[in-house]
């Protein structure tokens, strides 16, 4: 399952990061799928306005969690929150590019709205 999540998610998140960099937002993609938690972490620090410096906050975080039978998505919009704003888990058989795209679009929209 880890290889499938990596094969689908990594190129998609890299493309999203490239588009966000064009808009001068900062992103960080951290692949820890081979670690004990099996997590792919995508951090977004939105630029508040076109010529402003990025906020001095850690930003929002999207985590994709790969388990044997499930794939989860956790969204942290508040960097100091102990619990994610949203925590979704689906059966591994339902993990697809379409599902991932919907999760990423929702994450980016909510992050930009909150900034």
Q: What is the pTM of this model?
A: 0.90
DSSP letters spanning 5-72: HHHHHHHHHHHHHHHHHHTT-EEEEEEETTSTT-EEEEEEE--SSTTSPPPSS--EEEEEEE-SSEEE
- Over the stretch 34-72, which tens digit does the pLDDT of each residue have? 999 899 999 999 887 666 665 656 789 999 999 989 999
Contact by Cβ (8 Å): 97, 8: yes
pLDDT higher than 80, residue 14: yes
Look up residue 78 and give its DSSP letter.
S
């Amino acid at each position: 399952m880890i290889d499938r999540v990596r094969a689908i998610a990594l190129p998609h998140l890299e493309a999203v990061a490239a588009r966000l960099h064009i808009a001068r937002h900062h992103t960080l993609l951290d692949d820890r799928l081979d670690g004990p938690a099996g997590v792919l972490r995508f951090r977004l620090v939105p630029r508040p306005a076109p010529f402003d410096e990025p906020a001095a906050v850690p930003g929002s975080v999207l985590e994709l969690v790969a388990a044997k039978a499930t794939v989860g998505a956790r969204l942290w919009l508040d960097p100091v929150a102990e619990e994610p704003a949203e925590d979704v888990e689906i059966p591994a058989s339902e993990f697809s590019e379409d599902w991932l795209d919907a999760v990423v679009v929702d994450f980016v929209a909510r992050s930009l709205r909150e900034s």
